[in-house]
Amino acid sequence: MDKERSVVWLLLKRNIGFWICLGIVLFVVLLAIVGPLFAKYGPQETVTIVRIVNASDANRVAEELRERYGLAPADISISMYSIIKQLSNTTNTTELNTLAEECKSQGMQVKIYTQPIPRIECYDPSKMMVVAYIRSKPPSLDFPFGVDKQGYDVFSSTVYGLRVSLSVGVIAAIVATIVGTVLGLLAGYMGGWVDALIDAITNLLIAIPTVFLMLMIGLFYVVGGSAVGREVQNMVFLGLTVGLLSWQWVSRAVRAQVSALKASDFVSVSMLSGNSTIKIIFKDILPNIASYIFLVFVIQLANALGTVVTLEFLGIKAAEWSLFARINQYLMLGEHWSGNWWTLFIPGAIVVAMIASLYLMVLSLEEVFNPRLRKA
């Protein structure tokens, strides 16, 4: 047993592909976890650069920004610098007065309006505001993943979106693995009508395209409530939905393993020596299929990620900033072909790299564990 383990380890150590894949997976997960710390913009914040400068410098600064970011003249606006404050409380004007004093002390011109709502506007004639709207920029040092057509920083939206999509995928995979394992154990160990019932449900889920069910559930419970602040709730719900509709493979695989084990000698011995069912399942069966369940989980994760991003593309999204929600918007507007490649393919490449690495890791592990697949 120990010898076999060392052989497995030796083989794995030599399998360069496995380590590359593991590296990619860890990198993508890390990107989703710590990426937002490095993101300069929020998930729904467009890239705009605001400079408040002396009036005489305004044109020069605008020109500098234009050159620095290669902007079209229409993407830059120069306007008067002003502070505008509006009161909701119509009766108390003392606050306005304090602000007015403050502005005046800084040498600003102040206008106070009382109608229709009291508000104050402070102008500084010596200062100008230069605003640069950055849109459709290819990857550069400033924006590692570029900026999309609407002015979103692709790096920021990717890392935030990845967080959402990965979370949903992980929840779905965990749910599917647990449900599938429990049902597979029950079906394989109990047999009889329990087995028949579980088998029937499994076959049903295999025979029908479950994506439609996911769509409809998502439509009613997720999109309907995708108001701000419900993202976490949506993520959990969507994860549960996908997970509860994709455990069929796990259950089938676990069932096969368990019934094989049940027929094996050592489980028979355990049964004959009077061990309880629960003890047999936890002591004799689960430890033997643990590594197998782990492989199944990795596959489920890869599958769930694929399903989740497809749902996002179709418009079922946990958050407005889900990874591919914006592509869905482009499609709705018929603008997906005029998009920029970095908007379309950088997030896509990350997801594909993640999914493919998960599959290839399972392939390597299977090759290592299963001597028949080992190619000398």
Binding positions for other proteins, 329-348, rule CB under 8 A: 331-332, 334, 336-338, 341, 344-345, 348
Alpha-carbon span 303 to 269, nearest angstrom: 38
Alpha-carbon span 375 to 372, nearest angstrom: 8
CB atoms inside a 10 Å sphere around CB 266: 10
The residue with tokens 């896509």 is 348
DSSP assigned state of 284: I
Position 139 contacts other proteins (CB under 8 A): no
> 191, 285 in Cβ contact below 8 A?
no
Position 363 contacts other proteins (CB under 8 A): yes
- Please choose, from the candidates 361, 365, 277, 358, the residue with its C-alpha nearest in 3D space to the C-alpha of residue 29: 358
Q: How far is the CB of 363 from other proteins (least distance, A)?
A: 7
> For residue 148, what are the CA distances in angstroms to 139, 167, 321?
10, 24, 14
Position 315 contacts other proteins (CB under 8 A): yes
The correct pick among 207, 263, 272, 278 for binding other proteins (CB under 8 A) is 207
Stretch that binds other proteins, among 116-124, 130-138, 266-274, 301-309 (CB under 8 A): 301-309
- CA 326 to mean position of chain CA atoms: 13
Position 306 contacts other proteins (CB under 8 A): yes
Q: Which two tokens stand for residue 240?
A: 């549960």
The correct pick among 58, 128, 299, 316 for binding other proteins (CB under 8 A) is 316
Q: How far is the CB of 150 from other proteins (least distance, A)?
A: 17
DSSP assigned state of 123: E
Rg, C-alpha atoms of the chain: 29
Position 325 contacts other proteins (CB under 8 A): no
Q: Which two tokens stand for residue 218?
A: 């998502």
Helix (H, G, I), strand (E, B) or coil at 86: strand
The correct pick among 135, 327, 342, 365 for binding other proteins (CB under 8 A) is 327
> 129, 51 in Cβ contact below 8 A?
yes
Position 328 contacts other proteins (CB under 8 A): yes
- Please choose, from the candidates 308, 193, 170, 303, the residue with its C-alpha nearest in 3D space to the C-alpha of residue 249: 303
Nearer to other proteins, 126 or 203 (CB): 203
Position 224 contacts other proteins (CB under 8 A): yes
Helix (H, G, I), strand (E, B) or coil at 142: coil
Position 256 contacts other proteins (CB under 8 A): no
The residue with tokens 């429990």 is 182
Binding positions for other proteins, 14-53, rule CB under 8 A: 17
Position 80 contacts other proteins (CB under 8 A): no
Contacts of 150 (CB under 8 A, 6+ apart): 46, 135, 326
Nearer to other proteins, 66 or 336 (CB): 336
Stretch that binds other proteins, among 3-11, 29-37, 145-153, 159-167 (CB under 8 A): 3-11
Position 233 contacts other proteins (CB under 8 A): no
Alpha-carbon span 271 to 344, nearest angstrom: 57
Position 299 contacts other proteins (CB under 8 A): no
The correct pick among 204, 232, 260, 269 for binding other proteins (CB under 8 A) is 204
Q: How far is the CB of 15 from other proteins (least distance, A)?
A: 12
Q: Which residues bind other proteins (CB under 8 A)?
A: 3, 7, 10-11, 17, 203-204, 206-213, 215-217, 219-221, 223-224, 302, 306, 309-310, 313-316, 324, 327-328, 331-332, 334, 336-338, 341, 344-345, 348, 351-352, 355-356, 359-360, 363, 372-373, 375-376
